[in-house]
Chain A
Amino acid sequence: NAGVTQTPKFQVLKTGQSMTLQCAQDMNHNSMYWYRQDPGMGLRLIYYSASEGTTDKGEVPDGYNVSRLKKQNFLLGLESAAPSQTSVYFCASSYVGGGEDVYTFGSGTRLTVV
């Protein structure tokens, strides 16, 4: 099983450009999440989706949008990239979404905004 696959692995954007980070899971998980990880800040939740077609804001949603049109895919969009969005982005998924579930993480997307 591939688990959680994130594309691209690396990306450099210019300020103001837009892009979409893609996440796919093949475990039939109900819930999916987008985190960003910055030095000294830990993992911060951007958006999550409890089920196909639903999304909710996390701790740091400003400047991002998401889409969960299919159960296996969760897309993170940057409408107008800013240097403050330079970070490592992780997608994760879990089966039910309760605290008993194990999160499976992707390997990350390293984004640099110049």
Chain B
Amino acid sequence: QKEVEQDPGPLSVPEGAIVSLNCTYSNSAFQYFMWYRQYSRKGPELLMYTYSSGNKEDGRFTAQVDKSSKYISLFIRDSQPSDSATYLCAIGSGGSNYKLTFGKGTLLTVNP
């Protein structure tokens, strides 16, 4: 079983839809959970970061972590065409472990 599993999609939604993106992980040592957004032909950029179970909101974006189920989600409300990108979850265990483990990414297209 891979450490981080992410449905690659692609996912196509109409403008204004609520989008749900998900990842599962296997290592209970993971403590830090991030979502990166990557536009076409660009490098990934941090979108959301959290380290505890529960929800974290930032504008139209909500990151949700369920450590008991080893499941993380990113919700996008009122999706816009400008949200069209690949979304990657990234998980880290902190401490002396320097590396983040990335999901493969979900390609999202929001249609006007």
Q: Which residue numbers of A lie inside 8 Å of B, CB to CB?
A: 4, 31, 33, 40-43, 45, 48, 50, 58, 90, 92, 94, 97-103, 105-108
Contact = CB atoms under 8 A, between A and B. Distances in A.
Interface string B18-39: 0000000000001110101000
Given A99-B51, A105-B45, 11 more contacts: A4-B43, A41-B104, A42-B6, A42-B102, A43-B102, A98-B95, A99-B31, A99-B97, A102-B49, A103-B90, A103-B100
Contacts of A31: 98
A26 to B, nearest CB: 16
Nearest to B104: A42
B93 A99 contact: yes
Contacts, number: 66
A102 B94 CA distance: 12
A32 to B, nearest CB: 10
Given A103-B46, A106-B43, A107-B43, A98 B94 contact: yes
Contacts of B8: 40
B9 to A, nearest CB: 11
Contacts of A4: 43
B42 interface: yes
B42 A107 contact: yes
B21 to A, nearest CB: 14
A58 B32 contact: no
B92 A98 contact: yes
Contacts of B90: 103
Contacts of B100: 99, 103
